Amino acid sequence: MRFGRTFSILFSLVIALTVALVLTHRFRPVQPLISGDPLFPIQPETITAITWDVTNELGHLQQLRIERKGLFWQMVTPYTGFRCDTAEVVRLLDTIQALKVVTPLNNVDATTIPKGRQLVVETPEKQLVCTFGEIPPMNVAQMTAQCNNIFVAVNTSTVKQLPVSARQLWSRAILPVSTTNLTSIEWRAPRLPFTKVFKRDTGKWSVSQPFAFEPNEAKAEQALSLLTNAAIITDYLRPLPDDVASTIFPETALIPYGLDEDSAIRVTIRAKGFSDPFQLRFGAKDPNNPTQVYCLLDNRQAIVSIPEKVRDLFTQAGPFVTTHLNLPFLGDATNPTAITIHKTTEIKQRTVLNLRNNQWELTTPAAFPANPVAVKQLLQQLTSLPGDLTESLTPDETRFICTIHFTFETPKQPIEVKFYQESDTKLLARRMDTNRLYSFNKDNFPQALLELNTLNQKLLNRTLFALPESTIKRVTVEKNGVLQCTVVRNAETQQWNTAFPQKFYIQDETLTKWLNLFTDFTAEAVLSDAVLGKTQLSAYGFDQPQLKITLDLDGSDEGLRKVLIVASDANETDGTPVMVQGRPLLYLISSGTLQLLKRPLVAAENAHANTAQP
């Protein structure tokens, strides 16, 4: 009971003290203002928001509110999200500091003073409000203001320095950062390749796409200073007075300005201190000023007119392009996921390469592993092709060579290029995605692309066997259809023994060389990539093969069998045709490899004393 009574007394005292403090604060006399006192006695850097009544384009009062957002000020009303001009905000803050009492006004009848505009200045701790009467129509030095229920006279000239309209605070910069804070710029333009530039750790600019080169640093910095010019915007074309304040323009509304996605130069800019990139678009010329072009600002809420030279930064006239000669015009075709090469629209006559699980496959006309070295070499040759940009030549369609289509992971767009014969020593290449034509030396062109009928064979993987020695448990050899021998590896001792014929000895040197060969057995070439009939195989000498080697496997490949079939001796001078049973491909092996495979694997006499007995 004693504890409850004590708690009640203490709680009552707290309530009483709180009420007393509130009443004291509310009904204490307002500190009178004297001449020279600031209407807003706060430091500019502490101000977080400003609200002021301005006049719109139709002559009506509307509320203007701006708020500090990090390094910048942003409009909240009437144009939500519009970035404010830094210089105009500084001028506004200076004006707020300059608003001072000229003379206190006593015994003023508030009803006789027409209500004018209200200025609200906020900090994290407080909010200060002043209401100003109508600005005198004549050149009167002072006017009335009311602050904290006190009427004072202030200088008319100072009040007139406050913004008249919201437009007055619109930013005049298209990019509100300095060039030193820029880190990368990339852009897409109609009929031009995707371009990306970035700033190295050294502070110098470098171009990475469509091909790598170092731009003139002085020209680059001079050009980028236009992009970050704080007063580069000449005029705002939209919003119009009757536009909805927070409108984000749809693509259809941008078409008349050449700012739609299909027509504009679309620029993405990244800068230090900003997690999100800036997005700008540059469009058609401003018909009211032939030296100006349209620009869609980052928030997509305003269309402005800017000097044409700003847009030209992202064209052939800009600092981020090199000479039109000796260009690696396919330098951006790196890391494709698919490559299609064809001369006709016939699907069966196409060469299609697909990258799957980091391995290239030739999927058309048949699905087989591709030769990674050959594909890499082809890509290197294509992406490094040097050509001269030309507009004066017209490709002769009757001298068409082939089309190459590169596919990439999204969002990178596909690339298609068509090649033509220009002369005995020159070829032409037209980039279909950019509609650019290049002339280059024929000697630099991959020879394989000039012989499309054998292209697949050159791109196919030439590996016959890739078998670790430990997986081979049995080797059987037939010559001219007659079983010659079978040798077997003992699972426990790992020693090789002759299973057939009895009493014969293994030739150690031959067996060792065979096993080494089978670990990475690569043919000289792919002879045919098509499924051949019996008659066609007979023409290559497979109706009476001279050699058949069967490899039985264990370990992870238990139960598998690999069979190498070597064609007859009919044509060994240029290599001998071979095939792996179960594959439709024909390969060519060298005469040296054939001679190794024709060596006897076993002999009736023991060549070495330590050779295992049968």
User: Between 58 and 431, whose confidence is greater?
Assistant: 431
Distance, in Å, from the CA atom of 330 to the CA atom of 429, rounded to the nearest integer, reads: 10
Q: Quick: pLDDT tens for 484-509.
A: 999 999 989 999 999 999 989 999 99
Q: Quick: pLDDT tens for 84-121.
A: 998 899 999 999 999 999 888 876 666 556 567 899 99
Instruction: With a cut of 90, say whether residue 577 has pLDDT above it.
Output: yes
pLDDT band at 166 (very low <50, low <70, confident <90, very high): confident
Residue 217: enclosing H or E segment and its boundaries?
helix 217-227
Q: Quick: pLDDT tens for 19-62.
A: 444 444 444 444 577 888 899 999 999 999 999 998 877 778 88
Instruction: With a cut of 70, say whether residue 608 has pLDDT above it.
Output: no
Predicted pLDDT at 341: 94
Q: Quick: pLDDT tens for 551-570.
A: 999 865 556 899 999 999 76
SS3 breakdown of the chain: % helix, strand, coil, rounded to 5? 25, 35, 40
Instruction: With a cut of 70, say whether residue 459 has pLDDT above it.
Output: yes
Predicted pLDDT at 275: 86
- Average pLDDT of span 477-486: 96
Q: Quick: pLDDT tens for 328-380.
A: 888 778 899 999 999 887 766 789 999 999 999 998 766 889 999 999 999 99
- Residue 7: CB partners within 8 Å, gap ≥ 6? none
Distance, in Å, from the CA atom of 100 to the CA atom of 36, rounded to the nearest integer, reads: 6
pLDDT band at 6 (very low <50, low <70, confident <90, very high): low
Q: Quick: pLDDT tens for 185-204.
A: 999 888 777 889 999 888 88
Q: Quick: pLDDT tens for 533-550.
A: 888 888 888 999 999 999
DSSP state letter for 467? -
Other CB atoms within a 10 A radius of the CB of residue 100 amount to: 17
Query: Which of 323-332, 419-428, 551-560 is modeled with the greatest confidence?
Result: 419-428
Predicted pLDDT at 4: 54
Is the backbone peptide bond immediately before 290 cis, with ω within 30 degrees of 0?
no
Predicted pLDDT at 389: 83
Predicted pLDDT at 614: 46
Predicted pLDDT at 148: 77
Predicted pLDDT at 364: 73
Contact (Cβ atoms closer than 8 angstroms) between residue 251 and residue 261: yes
Predicted pLDDT at 151: 86
CA distances for 384 relative to 63, 172, 377, 574, angstroms: 60, 43, 11, 33
CA distances for 526 relative to 253, 413, 580, angstroms: 58, 33, 12
